[in-house]
Structure 1
Amino acid sequence: MITKQVDVAIIGAGTAGMGAYRAAREHTDSILLIEGNQYGTTCARVGCMPSKLLIAAAEAAHHHRHTDMFGVASNDPEIDGRKVMQRVRAERDRFVGFVKESVEGFKAEHKVMGYAQFTGPNTLKVGEDLVVEAKKIVIATGSRPNIPGFLHGAGNRLVVNDDIFEWEELPASVAVFGPGVIGLELGQALSRLGVDVRMFGVGGAIGPIKDPEIRDYAEKVFNREFYLDPDAKVESLERTENGVEITYQHREKGLITETFDYVLAATGRRPNVDNIGIENAGIELDERNVPVFDRYTMQTRSLTDSGGSRPSHIFMAGDANNDLPLLHEAADEGRIAGDNAGRFPEVRSGKRRTALGVVFSDPQIANVGLSIQEVQERCRSCYATGHVSFEDQGRSRVMGKNVGLLKVYGEQGTGLFLGAEMVGPGAEHIGHLLSWVAQRRLTVSEILELPFYHPVIEEGVRTALRDLNSNLQLGPAVIERCMDCGPGA
């Protein structure tokens, strides 16, 4: 058994881990980056990039079918599933290669392959032959698909998003469980590529949507392409010799039974902290056995003999902390965690960006800043909303993409722009614009002073903001009245 002593140990070499490594290197050369499986981030290998490659193929097929409105004759495209998946895998491997090149640039003595297990607050066992004693530790172990028990009835026809990108051919039918970000993106893409898709959810949620009006609109729109029941009643699911037989309550046909080639579990992800001996780390855990941490410093809390806790030398970053499982957030968190691990016991709060989420469905979904529930909690009754439909928005109609709804939220008294939620065309771009002005803490009137070109989809944003502005009451008297509404109102 070999023992290695380091100043900082980082568990996981994904987006957060690499960010932590680079930040910690600014403070110390005594550092070890531990990777248990393979180099290449979740985004590059099984997430953002391969899914967008599949979506790009699906959009090409969809556009080919819908050109009649422009006076251009259309027909069903001939989809070569094998070629579709060949491009997905080839380009995916290219993106993974870039990540591997980055890791190869790290010093050899700073890297080790092997699964790490806490054996104490400052000690890690890596594989069978190495013990690492570290003064500071960053946990950046990522996440993995979470699969409800009943889906295992699908047997060898149960897949997760990781598996889809290894397909050499497209199947005839897929039942998707989970209309979240992954389910919506992959399910719609498969449907547009000729796969027969049904999508089932629990509790009524669709993607990250929080505003009930936006959610209801999205449900109607997606059901135009494939069957989507966000609160499905599934009676049974079992593997048969013909595939996976599912009996469920169809909202129009009643109780029916259908057979699918595969079941895709898009039922969320769980943090990889249950397999690293976290109980030996001596830190405070929440009810899910995930470490409690400060999202501005990434610092966890050590348990004390008196039953309390104090700031710890262990930091959390990326999907492992189960906070905001997005690449740009993981990169930010990695930098914050690595910087604080490197300078510990001095710890600094890092800059967190305005919340921004995008679903690359069609129409796209975007959420910016505070959700409607967070606005209501912050402002009680002292807020206003504005909205715009994209069904009659000029540029959207020109392009034949006139499907969508945007809602924006503002604070009474100050006129501060608080957040927005949208399903519609160009949401990935509109979301960015609105997140920028939210982070700059602009008021609605200040945003309306910014330039809007004609004719562009962004004119719809101006329409929604004008509607919001007309519903806002401004001035000291309103601010004083709203002081009684609650915290921050």
Structure 2
Amino acid sequence: MNPSIIDCDVAIIGAGSAGLPAYREVLKAGLKPLLIESGPHGTMCARVGCMPSKLLIAAAEAAAAIRHAPGFGVYAAGPVQIDGVAVMERVRRERDRFVGFVVEDVQAMPPEHRLDARVEFLRDGVLQSDQGHEIHAGRIIIATGAQPVVPDIYRPLGELAIVNDDVFDWQDLPRSVLVIGAGVIGVELGLALARLGVRVRVLNRSASFAHLADPAVREAAVALLAPELNLVRNAQVTTVLREGRQAVVGWTAGDGTETREQFDYVLLTAGRLPVLAPLHPERTSMPLDARGMPQIDPATLQVQGQPVFLAGDVTGRHAIQHEASDDGRLAGRNAAAWPDVQALPRRAAMAVVFSNPQIMQVGGGFSVHDSDTVAVGEVDWTRQGRSRVMLRNQGLLHVYMQRADQRFLGAEMVGPDAEHVAHLLAWALQMELTVPQMLALPFYHPTIEEGIRTALRDALRQ
């Protein structure tokens, strides 16, 4: 037997938020898995995504709360003092703690189930590693994730052009950061840095903001958050230079105004692309589209006609941790059961932006809106009781109801405790409740949740 050949039932490429659940499903089915990881273990979520970003945001929230206190007649001894070194030390320490839990789980796996190496396809069902192994797999799950886009125009900046992964290894907070992109990452990190005393500017090439589709909710969010972000919409970057330790960037705004500023760093958050090219899928018989993406059935995650499955961010769909985990479980079950693959029920779509006020979308959001068939209910948080008590009465909630049967379809919101409002509405959507059924449920007084009731009642009045 050739020792360089590894045989397995299912090869799982990528040990992240999708790959780990896939591994567990294959193991549960009694098959032999091989979990392949080319980089450090710990998942993108724990290492450079969900958790470290929330640690930075938590520090910013603490600073914002002190600044907010005078509205209640409560005063600190002086201006807020930000110790950037202490802030980033806690971010790294707690980040490493979260990563450590995942690494421990991986290290507890049987050694024959793991391979730390880079791999690429040789042909259908066969992978080659950079360590000389040849992996023969009856089925393959690709869970290699996505990576930030770094446009060529920013290459001259060298290490001054960064992505979100780089932020969480900072030893101290910088003085200034230019953020490119007003999506979820740009808004979250931009706002956190601004509230921690960093001079921030956010440029967005369109009028979009945090992926909000409802025009009224989007403009409400922009009105509330754009001043702190120094947001410039419809911006066209014209000049990118490096002068010593400074990045010099020039742009033209939508009104034709030309501006040039200096920054310590340029944070690129204008999109992520699936990590597929290094695998050389073109060496297989997988059907590929013009971008080199395998054609998959979104209901089963199977590549058309192949014992190959995609899971998580590599699919190019929503880059959300719980959806990546669900993808991993689905891909693992179907890989184990192949060729008897099945479409399994998916959870109601939900997305949250951890800004302050927070932003959320449930279901199709505004995309389901048709004025002839869909009614829109609204609550203006400026007049909502509990939010006014807490001096957090800002924002707008829109809920969408199908007129014909009064079924709840989704929502978009900027406002207080949007992360919790999103959960309640996502549960209602998944249970396929009608608006009258939702209104029959209890609403305690005085709570933020009463705002949901106001919006639902407004939808029924349409």
TM-score bucket of the superposed structures, by smaller chain? over 0.9
How many angstroms apart in 2 are the aligned matches of 1:165 and 1:4? 37
Q: In the alignment, which residue of structure 1 is the partner of 2:400?
A: 409
Answer yes or no: is 1:362 the counterpart of 2:356. yes
How many angstroms apart in 1 are the aligned matches of 2:290 and 2:410? 30
The aligned runs of 1:292-311 (5 Å cut-off) are 292-301=295-304, 311=305
Find the residue that maps to 1:87 and give its secondary structure: helix
Q: In the alignment, which residue of structure 1 is the partner of 2:49?
A: 47
Tell me the CA shift for residue 34 of structure 1: 0.7
Answer yes or no: is 1:372 the counterpart of 2:375. no
Q: Quickly say closer, same or farther: Cα 1:251–1:270, change in 2 above 3 A.
A: closer
Tell me the CA shift for residue 348 of structure 1: 1.4
Tell me the CA shift for residue 250 of structure 1: 5.4
Answer yes or no: is 1:88 the counterpart of 2:119. no
Tell me the CA shift for residue 252 of structure 1: 8.6
Q: Quickly say closer, same or farther: Cα 1:148–1:81, change in 2 above 3 A.
A: same
2:170 maps to amino acid: W
Find the residue that maps to 1:124 and give its secondary structure: strand
Tell me the CA shift for residue 429 of structure 1: 0.2
Q: In the alignment, which residue of structure 1 is the partner of 2:58?
A: 56
1:96 maps to amino acid: V
Q: In the alignment, which residue of structure 1 is the partner of 2:308?
A: 314
Query: Which of 16, 19, 29 is the matching residue for 1:17?
Result: 19
Q: In the alignment, which residue of structure 2 is the partner of 1:353?
A: 347
Q: In the alignment, which residue of structure 2 is the partner of 1:335?
A: 329
2:399 maps to amino acid: V
How many angstroms apart in 2 are the aligned matches of 1:8 and 1:359? 35
Q: Quickly say closer, same or farther: Cα 1:163–1:437, change in 2 above 3 A.
A: same
How many angstroms apart in 2 are the aligned matches of 1:469 and 1:317? 39
The aligned runs of 1:4-403 (5 Å cut-off) are 4-74=6-76, 75-249=78-252, 254-301=257-304, 311-376=305-370, 381-403=372-394
Find the residue that maps to 1:25 and give its secondary structure: helix
Q: Quickly say closer, same or farther: Cα 1:316–1:401, change in 2 above 3 A.
A: same
Does the CA contact (< 8 Å) of 2:120 and 2:279 recur in 1?
A: yes
1:246 maps to amino acid: V
Tell me the CA shift for residue 271 of structure 1: 0.6
Tell me the CA shift for residue 253 of structure 1: 10
1:359 maps to amino acid: V
How many angstroms apart in 2 are the aligned matches of 1:118 and 1:253? 49
Does the CA contact (< 8 Å) of 1:242 and 1:259 recur in 2?
A: no
Does the CA contact (< 8 Å) of 2:233 and 2:254 recur in 1?
A: no
Tell me the CA shift for residue 242 of structure 1: 4.8
How many angstroms apart in 1 are the aligned matches of 2:277 and 2:30? 29
Does the CA contact (< 8 Å) of 2:234 and 2:254 recur in 1?
A: no
Q: In the alignment, which residue of structure 2 is the partner of 1:483?
A: none
Find the residue that maps to 2:303 and give its secondary structure: strand
Q: Gaps spanning 5+ residues in structure 2: where?
A: none
Find the residue that maps to 1:244 and give its secondary structure: strand
Tell me the CA shift for residue 84 of structure 1: 0.3
How many angstroms apart in 2 are the aligned matches of 1:250 and 1:143? 30
Tell me the CA shift for residue 32 of structure 1: 0.8
How many angstroms apart in 1 are the aligned matches of 2:341 and 2:255? 58
How many angstroms apart in 1 are the aligned matches of 2:251 and 2:415? 30
Q: Gaps spanning 5+ residues in structure 1: where?
A: 302-310, 472-489
Find the residue that maps to 2:444 and give its secondary structure: coil
Does the CA contact (< 8 Å) of 2:234 and 2:253 recur in 1?
A: no
Query: Which of 438, 441, 444 is the matching residue for 1:450?
Result: 441
Tell me the CA shift for residue 254 of structure 1: 3.2
Instruction: Name the TM-score, length of structure 2 as normaliser.
Output: 0.97
Deviant stretches of 4+, over 3 Å: 249-254
Q: In the alignment, which residue of structure 2 is the partner of 1:480?
A: none
How many angstroms apart in 2 are the aligned matches of 1:332 and 1:102? 19
1:3 maps to amino acid: I
2:67 maps to amino acid: R
Tell me the CA shift for residue 283 of structure 1: 1.0
How many angstroms apart in 1 are the aligned matches of 2:245 and 2:10? 53
How many angstroms apart in 1 are the aligned matches of 2:158 and 2:404? 58
Tell me the CA shift for residue 291 of structure 1: 1.4
Answer yes or no: is 1:466 the counterpart of 2:457. yes
How many percent of aligned residue pairs carry the same amino acid? 46
2:342 maps to amino acid: R
Does the CA contact (< 8 Å) of 1:7 and 1:28 recur in 2?
A: no
Tell me the CA shift for residue 381 of structure 1: 2.2
How many angstroms apart in 1 are the aligned matches of 2:230 and 2:14? 39
Q: More displaced, 194-203 or 153-162?
A: 153-162
Find the residue that maps to 1:286 and give its secondary structure: coil
2:437 maps to amino acid: E
1:436 maps to amino acid: W
1:255 maps to amino acid: E
Does the CA contact (< 8 Å) of 1:143 and 1:270 recur in 2?
A: yes
1:49 maps to amino acid: M
Does the CA contact (< 8 Å) of 1:148 and 1:267 recur in 2?
A: no
How many angstroms apart in 2 are the aligned matches of 1:288 and 1:394? 51
Answer yes or no: is 1:432 the counterpart of 2:423. yes
How many angstroms apart in 2 are the aligned matches of 1:249 and 1:37? 39
How many angstroms apart in 2 are the aligned matches of 1:151 and 1:397? 44
Find the residue that maps to 2:277 and give its secondary structure: coil
1:447 maps to amino acid: M
Tell me the CA shift for residue 249 of structure 1: 3.4
Tell me the CA shift for residue 288 of structure 1: 2.1
How many angstroms apart in 1 are the aligned matches of 2:218 and 2:309? 36
Q: Quickly say closer, same or farther: Cα 1:395–1:235, change in 2 above 3 A.
A: same
How many angstroms apart in 1 are the aligned matches of 2:247 and 2:125? 47
Does the CA contact (< 8 Å) of 2:161 and 2:266 recur in 1?
A: yes
Find the residue that maps to 1:282 and give its secondary structure: coil
